[in-house]
Amino acid sequence: MLTALNSDHLGLSRFYYLDASIDETLRRHATRPQATEFGPDDMRQWHRPGDLLTEIREHVIPQTCTVQETISLILAETRLLQAAKTPSATGEPSERTTSWRPGHARAADARH
């Protein structure tokens, strides 16, 4: 599924893997609003340490990264904030600026 998504996407795609132990995963899950939807026994069955994709390069984020560090890393690597703040000299969206707006699907978006 992710391989197809990666190949179908016209722009740059990035993939991230949080390398967290089962104990850390359970600790984090307990803080989520959806924590009661499934429990530790289910998660132990699903947990696969080091389960990286084989056909797509993933950036591994260690469990020691805080949420803010993870967000900062992803924003820096993807340049999402820079792209949103970079208009062209004419005021038109530049190549690095997204022109997508809710309700205005691009042709690539309409296929999915």
Question: 20 Cβ partners below 8 Å, 6+ apart?
Answer: 28, 63
In SS3 terms, the chain reads as: CHHHHHHHCCCCCCCEEEECCHHHHHHHHCCCCCCCCCCHHHHHHHCCCCCCCCCCCCEEEECCCCHHHHHHHHHHHHCHHHHHCCECCCCCECCCCCCCECCECCHHHHCC
Give the residue-averaged pLDDT of 57-63.
94
Domain holding 12, by residue range, is 2-85
Domain contains 98: no
Record the pTM: 0.65
Structure tokens at 54: 């084989």
Residue 97, in any domain of the structure: no
How far apart are the C-alpha atoms of 102 and 85, rounded to whole Å? Answer: 18
Answer whether residue 112 shows pLDDT above 70: no
| Each residue's pLDDT tens digit, 79-88 | 888 866 765 5
Please give the tally of structural domains in the chain.
1
